[in-house]
Amino acid sequence: MSDDNGILLLLLMGPAGAVGLYWGLYRYYRNTDKSHAFERETAVEAKPVTGSDQKAGEIKGTRASRIPGDNVGDYRKRVKRVQDDSS
């Protein structure tokens, strides 16, 4: 069963390589993924970050290597916007 998977993965190498090269070169020529990296190119003066961390539970025996919906590096993916806080 797993042997079949290995062979399948090996056979996928060709199509994957073709798609990968096409995609990589297309972006290299057309630069559709580029934009102003304002996150790192703007002068920002920040006060120290404050906050709280509270343990909420444990997970046992998951097969996922990352938290589902990990967006720590996707600064530009907006999440639910809270308009005002009663604090």
Partner 1 sequence: MSNASRPPPIPPYTGPGYTGPGSPQDVPPLPGSFPIDPNTLPKPIRDELLAPDPLAIDTAAAELKDGLNRCPKCGATDIRHKPGSDLLICQYCRNEWHGVRVEEAYGLGTGIDQLKGRVIASGARNIQADAAVLMSFKCTGCGAEVTINTQSAMTARCHWCRHVFSVNEQVPNGAVPDALLPFHIKKDDAVARIRQFVSKRKMFALKAFKAEFTPENVIGVYLPYMIIDGNVSAAVAGQGEIETRRYTEGSGNNKKTYYDADVYELERQVDFTVDDLTLESSTERGNLDTRANTNNIINTILPFDTKNALKWNASYLTGFTSEKRDRDAEHLTPRLEEQLLSIARAQVQASVNQYNRGVRWEQERLDVHGTRWVSMYLPVWLYSYHQPNKKGGLLHYIAVNGRTGETMGSVPVQQWKLILAALTVGSILEAIALWIVANSA
**Pairwise CA distance, residues 47 & 17, whole Å:** 46
Using only C-alpha atoms, what is the Rg of the chain? Answer: 21
Minimum Å distance from CB 48 to partner 1?
8
Minimum Å distance from CB 20 to partner 1?
6
**Pairwise CA distance, residues 48 & 54, whole Å:** 19
Minimum Å distance from CB 86 to partner 1?
10
